[in-house]
Amino acid sequence: MFKRSYYFILYLLLLSLFLFGCPKKVAKLPPIEVPPLENPIIKLLEAFSSAESLQARASIRIETVRSGEEMNFLLNGFVLYQKPDRLRLLGYHPLGMGLFDALYQNGEFFLLIPLQKKAYTGKISQFDDLMEKAGAIQISTEKSEGSEVPNRIRIDVVEKETRIDIRLKDIQLNPPMPEDSFQWIVPEGVEVKPLSKLLRKKVR
């Protein structure tokens, strides 16, 4: 049960945070002007863009409906950002066990799953067709009074009846970033696979 829930959490986070959100195709209608599709990760990068760099602790809550049953997941996390396009999210079980290390930079995505001794990498642009099946993804941010960066990010995956609520705490703006903050190093004994191997798995 833990393993299934674990992969389900990763699937939801990947769909919501790091991949394109596209509306489903509908019957052909007369041409109308529609806003351009926006990559959710671009919106997040723009939300932090007033800072040169950022680091913060995070509380992550995932609410979803699966087979008619409401499910909730709580995770702890750590967020790193560096202008213009580097974002890293590390997720931890509430008991402190590392669950994932997700890194986005220059259009590429890297994911490490320590417990499974597996890692995945690939270009985000490869998965437009998968995102079309996911449906629209809505992202909203909130800022505390006087703050230039958000302290809360809400992500709704409409067709999947899923909401992800990320609250940032102990935010540090423009801290000096160690050289390895956005380096992706594969630990010994970890198998590296194409990102498609994870994203195209059916979540049961």
- Domain ranges across the chain: 37-199
pLDDT, position 166: 93
Dist. CA 88–CA 182, nearest whole Å:
7
Element (H, E) at 140: strand 137-142
The residue with tokens 């992800």 is 164
Could you tell me if 174 and 53 are in contact, meaning their C-beta atoms sit under 8 angstroms apart? yes
Q: How confident is the model over 15-35, as pLDDT tens digits?
A: 566 554 333 333 344 444 434
Residues found in the chain: 204
Could you tell me if 195 and 204 are in contact, meaning their C-beta atoms sit under 8 angstroms apart? no
For the chain, state the CA radius of gyration.
17
Dist. CA 88–CA 161, nearest whole Å:
25
43 pLDDT more than 90: no
Q: How confident is the model over 63-98, as pLDDT tens digits?
A: 988 778 888 889 999 999 999 999 999 999 888 888
Q: How confident is the model over 125-178, as pLDDT tens digits?
A: 766 555 555 556 788 899 999 898 999 999 887 777 888 899 999 999 999 999
101 pLDDT more than 70: yes
As a CATH number, domain 37-199 is 2.50.20.10
Fill in the DSSP letter of residue 106.
T
